[in-house]
Amino acid sequence: MTYPEADQIRAVLQDARRVVIIQADNPDGDSLGSALAMEQILHELGKEPFLYCGVDIPTYLRHLRGWDRVNPELPHQFDASIIVDTSADSLLETLTKTGQKHWIAAKPCIILDHHETEQTIPFAKVVCNYPVVATGELIYELAQQLDWPLNATTKEMLAVSILADSLGLTTTATTARSIHIIAELVDGGVSIPDLEERRREMMRKAPELVHYKGRLLERVEYYADNRVATITIPWEEIETYSPLYNPSMLVIDDMRLTTNTDIAIAFKLYNDGHVTAKIRSNYGKPIANKLAEHFGGGGHAYASGFKITKGRAFADIKSECVAKATELLAQLDQQ
């Protein structure tokens, strides 16, 4: 696939020396893999890449070599920026809070994304957003079009990105081209078993996390004849367990694998009053993004989320979320 924005991207990068690579405030395997791949590409092009994310990289992603180069503060001087894996301004909230977003807006900004949600970043100069399975797939195609160099680390990170968002090439967004790209990366030296072994080693959990997971599972609530499953994680538990592992990720897959469950929602309640929701829906029930968009969030049809910062009681948010999920499932049934 060729992208008409490629020449604009080339022009922006040609005139830039230091380039900031930005992830949203909810980093995942695709965003970090894409960011690390772009870091390598820019370095090979003779640029000075700088990795930024407004929040800490989750522990479960720290098997990816280079995660520790991601910074929580922007450099004082740079020439351009690349935002990977999001087109949503709401997911760059930390930049707004710290007053750094105007630094990004003042320089040429490129968006590389694959989500179907509306683009809401007003200052972007180039928006390259196509519904492929992962941002890593888009970057790979751009690299072929623009003759970007792909060293061993770049290829590895692109594979990580694609495998992460495709859930190992199993989602409905996975195409024959997605599979071909993985095959080409393997031909280029990427070892998927090595990647998986490193991931599994990092996924090992402390005994206290195993016990905590059991307590979380006991608190899972079911609605609409078990079709909607929810878990609520208070601030005290976020504070205690997040340094070890993301609490919602401990149980959300178990929740959606319950008999008759179509969608799982993990709520987090923060000490400043804001609420986040991580949403996962099962195959054949592509409503996660629609549910998130109802609350101003976004994401994929099967994996999405939203954040509400103020003005609403959690009980009302949860009630509305369950009701909307039930409504969306009923609409699917009618279709």
Convert the pLDDT of each residue in 77-115 to its tens digit. Answer: 999 999 999 998 888 989 998 999 999 999 999 999 998
Residue-level pLDDT at 90: 82
Same structural domain for residues 93 and 179?
Answer: yes
Among 311, 310, 297, which residue's Cα sits nearest to residue 324? Answer: 297
Of 133, 166, 199, which one is at a domain's C-terminal end?
199
Judge contact between 247 and 215, C-beta under 8 A: no
Among 247, 262, 257, 258, which residue's Cα sits nearest to residue 216? Answer: 247
Judge contact between 285 and 318, C-beta under 8 A: no
Residue-level pLDDT at 204: 77
Asked if residue 1 is part of any domain, the answer here is no
Same structural domain for residues 251 and 174?
Answer: no
Residue-level pLDDT at 331: 96
Task: Express as a percent the part of the chain with pLDDT over 70.
Answer: 99
Among 306, 261, 267, which residue's Cα sits nearest to residue 283? Answer: 261
Structure tokens at 273: 């009053």
Check residue 283 and give left, alpha or beta (phi > 0: left; psi -120 to 50: alpha): beta
Residue-level pLDDT at 134: 96
Among 42, 33, 98, 102, which residue's Cα sits nearest to residue 70? Answer: 33
Nearest-angstrom CA–CA distance, 321 and 329? 12
Number of domains in the chain: 2
Residue-level pLDDT at 167: 83
Same structural domain for residues 160 and 276?
Answer: no
Same structural domain for residues 110 and 195?
Answer: yes
Check residue 155 and give left, alpha or beta (phi > 0: left; psi -120 to 50: alpha): alpha
Residue-level pLDDT at 296: 87
Asked if residue 269 is part of any domain, the answer here is yes
> Distance between alpha carbon 225 and the CA centroid of its chain, in Å?
30
SS3 301: coil
Of 145, 170, 199, which one is at a domain's C-terminal end?
199
**pLDDT under 50 in the chain at which residues?**
none
The DSSP call for residue 272 is T
Structure tokens at 258: 């319950």
The DSSP call for residue 182 is H
Same structural domain for residues 37 and 136?
Answer: yes
Same structural domain for residues 217 and 136?
Answer: no
Asked if residue 308 is part of any domain, the answer here is yes
SS3 29: helix
Of 167, 199, 231, which one is at a domain's C-terminal end?
199
Judge contact between 20 and 104, C-beta under 8 A: yes
Global confidence as pTM: 0.81
Cβ neighbours of 131 (radius 10 Å)? 12
Q: 248: number of CA atoms within 13 Å, CB side?
A: 20
Same structural domain for residues 174 and 275?
Answer: no
| Domain enclosing residue 217, as ranges | 207-334
SS3 200: helix
Residue-level pLDDT at 58: 84
